[in-house]
A and B are shown apart, each in its own frame.
Chain A
Amino acid sequence: DAGITQSPRYKITETGRQVTLMCHQTWSHSYMFWYRQDLGHGLRLIYYSAAADITDKGEVPDGYVVSRSKTENFPLTLESATRSQTSVYFCASSDRVEIQETQYFGPGTRLLVL
């Protein structure tokens, strides 16, 4: 009963490097989401995906890239990391048909960009 997992849980990188955060869910949920959490802002949506090969921008997509070749995976890539991308990143999933839009969250990835 893994649910939704994220890796790595902690990451330190340097400005300009590419970083990929992984998200994997075992529920076969159709929807997946990436959020970032920053003090004073709550959680803000970066990207989301309604199904494999379907992705869309959220509130703060600049500097991020996503893909979804398989239903269970939704990686988030920072193509050239900046210090402003230091944050806690949460992945979430939901099955809109069965559980009416409740999103369940992974444990988060703490990213520090030096």
Chain B
Amino acid sequence: AQKVTQAQTEISVVEKEDVTLDCVYETRDTTYYLFWYKQPPSGELVFLIRRNSFDEQNEISGRYSWNFQKSTSSFNFTITASQVVDSAVYFCALTSGTDKLIFGTGTRLQVFP
């Protein structure tokens, strides 16, 4: 069975702090995809990144970076120098090509000025 665990329900930081959101996944498939989505207070779901199981290179996009480690089944997301606009709920998700995207329960990030 596939499963995504985001153990951190809520994180609060002060602006300019770095913050890491954890994501641990379970799957028996060797080919799979991992995703992060952002849900700001306005409610929409914004796609951030997709990573396939054969690409373990870390990715950086501006202040965002992702650390994919198959050895620990983790796909963690780090925001460097956080800003108030980063306040949102962040979801990690997994699919192994069965058309079904399995979501974690989300981590609510609050960035205070």
Contact = CB atoms under 8 A, between A and B. Distances in A.
A102 B44 contact: no
A97 to B, nearest CB: 12
Contacts of A45: 100-101
Contact of B105 (A33, A41, A107): A41
B111 to A, nearest CB: 21
Nearest to A99: B50
Interface string A6-50: 000000000000000000000000010100000011111100101
Contacts of A110: 43
Contact of A42 (B47, B97, B104): B104
A42 B106 contact: yes
Contact of B50 (A42, A100, A108): A100
B45 A105 contact: yes
A48 B105 contact: no
Interface string B73-113: 00000000000000000010001010111011110000000
B44 A107 contact: yes
A58 B33 contact: no
Contacts of B37: 105
Contacts of A108: 43-45
Contact of B91 (A43, A58, A92): A43
B64 interface: no
A42 B43 CA distance: 13
B33 A43 contact: no
Nearest to B95: A101
B7 to A, nearest CB: 13
A56 to B, nearest CB: 8
Interface of B: 33, 35, 37, 43-45, 47, 50, 52, 91, 95, 97, 99-101, 103-106
Given A43-B45, A45-B101, 5 more contacts: A45-B100, A92-B101, A100-B50, A100-B52, A110-B43
Q: Which 5 A-B pairs have the closest CB atoms?
A: A105-B45, A42-B103, A42-B105, A43-B103, A107-B44
26 contacts: A40-B105, A41-B105, A42-B104, A42-B105, A42-B106, A44-B103, A45-B100, A45-B101, A48-B99, A90-B45, A92-B101, A100-B33, A100-B52, A101-B95, A101-B99, A101-B101, A102-B47, A102-B50, A103-B101, A104-B47, A105-B37, A105-B44, A107-B43, A107-B44, A108-B43, A108-B44
